[in-house]
Structure 1
């Protein structure tokens, strides 16, 4: 999933001095940020696979209920919740949200902000 790669890249970018402790801390931050979300999405993927491709009568019944009885609004709301997590690379300027769906805000990179401040300070002088 691209989100995982971006979050891992952000954690590695924030390392600063490369030491075993900092690398371990970066991977711990990555796990703290992504583990629960990924675990939830894997479970959801298994359930959706069973619903879409299941062959038993129970699977067919669940598929019929999911696609015919659950209102489209409920399905759309669930999709919007899943699509709200859209991390961006913290070492690049942030792109504004141009879509119609809400996005969970991302914490700015302290290192990137400091680098931009130093860069702007040197340009102004």
Structure 2
């Protein structure tokens, strides 16, 4: 078993790297949306990160374990995971060009550029 810290993902599931990238994007968005730098706002950032990520990570960790035991039909198990596609909030959002459903972006959208 490989461990994607802080999420345990079995290598058979193939979700470790994806979750690491999603963690980075969601945490960066939460930090970007901070209005002030205080201990309370920093705590609030990590609470919001946890709120957005934990339910998905828990479900994907369980799915990863199950998929490690099932060899056939792996691709179908990933469809639900591919619906969640966080994007960096301060860059233009990439349109969905696929045929699958993509969940809407959480949190405020890009801020207007300062000139």
Q: TM-score, normalised by structure 1?
A: 0.66
Of Structure 1 and Structure 2, the greater helix share is in: 1
Q: C-alpha offsets along residues 77-108 of structure 1, whole Å, 9 cap, x if unaligned?
A: x4322210001000111111112211001135
User: Aligned pairs, how many?
Assistant: 95
In 2, Cα distance between the equivalents of 1:81 and 1:40?
A: 10
Q: Closer, same or farther in 2 for the Cα pair 1:33/1:107, shift >3 Å?
A: closer
Alpha-carbon shift at residue 4 of structure 1 (Å) = 1.3
Name the Cα RMSD after superposition.
2.1
Structure 2 regions of 5+ residues with no counterpart? Answer: 1-18
Select the residue among 22, 34, 46 that pairs with 2:65: 46
> Which TM-score applies when normalising by structure 2?
0.71
Cα distance between partner residues in 2 of 1:95 and 1:46: 31
Q: Is the 8 A contact 1:86 1:103 kept in 2?
A: yes
